[in-house]
Amino acid sequence: MITAGMDLGAKLIKVVIVSDGKVIARVKKTSGFEQDVSASEAMKEALEQAGVTADEVDRIVATGAGRNFAPFAHDRLTEVGAAARGAIARLPEARTVIDVGAEEGRAILITPEGRVKDFAVNEKCAAGAGTFTEAMARALEVPLEELGALSLTSDKAVPMNAQCVVFAESEVVSLLHARTSKRDIARAVHDAIASRIVSMARRVSIKPEVVLIGGMAFNVGFVESLKRTLEMEVHIPEEPDYVPAEGAAWAAYDKVAGKAAVDVQE
C-alpha cells in the first residue's frame, strides 16, 4: 500500500510518501504565487524520488492552511490532527505535541493512536510565536540564526517585563542601555516565549513525552528554555518540519487500512 501526505503552508509545501509502513520520499518546495502549481510539482518530484507512479498511490491526504486548494487530495486533515498523527509515528510514547511556528503556537494533547484529545492555539498575539525572536534579533542586532546559540552561552536569568513584542523591543533597548549583555537578553527572550507557550500548554495539561515541532524546533536556545520551563525532556524529531506532512500520509494509510485512527474529511 502506498499513500501520500501534503502539507500546504503559507511559505512551504511538503510532500511525504509512505509505503508499507515506511517513509520512502520527502520533498520540500516554496509555495510561490501559484500554490497549486507548486504542489503539483512537489508531488511529481516526490513520486520520482519514491520511484512510483501516480496511479500506484492509493490515497492522498492534504493538510496545512492551503489544504482546501490541494490538487489530487482525497481527504483533508487539520494541521492539529496532522501534527498529532505525525508525532506519534515518530515517537510512539509522545503524548504532548508543541508546535511553534512563525506566527502561531499550538499545544496538542494526543492519544497513543495519534488522535487529538485537546489542544490550545495562540494566533492572536505574536509574543508566543517565532516572530518574537525575529523582532528581538533585530533589536539586538544579532543574526536570527545565531540568537539561539548565543542564548546558550548565558548563565543568568534576566527577567523581561514586557509580554508584547512591540513593548519588548523597547525593553531590549533599555536593557542594552543598562549594559545587560546580549547573551543574557537572548536567553531572556527565549525564556519569555517558552513561558508563554508553557502557560498555554498547561491549559490543556502537559503529559510526557513532549515533542516539539515547527520552525522554533530548530532554535537551540528556545529548546533549552522550553526544557527549563517545563522541567521535562523535550524531544525534537529529526527533520521536524516534515512531521505534519508525514502525519497526513499516515492518516491516509490508516484510512486505506481501515483503521481510521484520525478523523479525515473527504
Partner 1 sequence: MTQEYWRWKEYNWHDEKIDPRAGKSISAGCDVGSVSSQAAIMVDGQLYAYSNMRTGSDSPNSAMDAMNWALEDTVLKIEDLHYVVGTGYGRVNVPFAHRAITEIACHARGANFMYGSSVRTILDMGGQDCKAIRCDDRGKVTNFLMNDKCAAGTGRGMEVFADLLQISIEDVGEMSFQVDKEPEPVSSTCVVFAKSEAAGLLRSGWPKNLVLAAYCSAMSHRVFTLLERLGVEKEFAITGGIAKNVGVVHRLEDELGMKSLKSDYDTQIAGALGAALFAKALYEKQQAGK
Give ∠ CA 85-61-78 in degrees, rounded to 5.
55
Residue 126 within binding range of partner 1, rule CB under 8 A: yes
List the one residue from 30, 68, 153, 170 that touches partner 1 (CB under 8 A). 170
List the one residue from 37, 54, 157, 173 that touches partner 1 (CB under 8 A). 173
List the one residue from 32, 53, 167, 263 that touches partner 1 (CB under 8 A). 167
- Cα gap 47→32, rounded to integer Å: 21
Q: Could you tell me the smallest distance in angstroms from the CB atom of residue 167 to partner 1? A: 6
Best CA proximity match to 83, nearest among 122, 116, 124, 131? 116
Phi first, then psi: give them for residue 8, nearest 5 degrees. -100, 95
List the one residue from 141, 159, 177, 258 that touches partner 1 (CB under 8 A). 177
List the one residue from 30, 166, 203, 208 that touches partner 1 (CB under 8 A). 166
Pick the closer one to partner 1 by CB: 153 or 174: 174
Site track 211-230 with partner 1 (rule: CB under 8 A), x = hit? --------------------
- Cα gap 213→225, rounded to integer Å: 15
Q: Could you tell me the smallest distance in angstroms from the CB atom of residue 109 to partner 1? A: 25
Residue 234 within binding range of partner 1, rule CB under 8 A: no
List the one residue from 163, 180, 181, 199 that touches partner 1 (CB under 8 A). 163
Cα Rg for the chain, rounded, in angstroms? 19
Listed in sequence order, the DSSP H helices in 51-96 are: 79-90
Residues with Cβ within 8 Å of 255's Cβ and at least 6 positions away in sequence, in order, are: 59, 61, 75, 264
Q: Tell me the residue type at 183.
A: R
Contacts to partner 1 by CB under 8 A: 103, 124-127, 131, 135, 163-167, 170, 173-174, 177-178
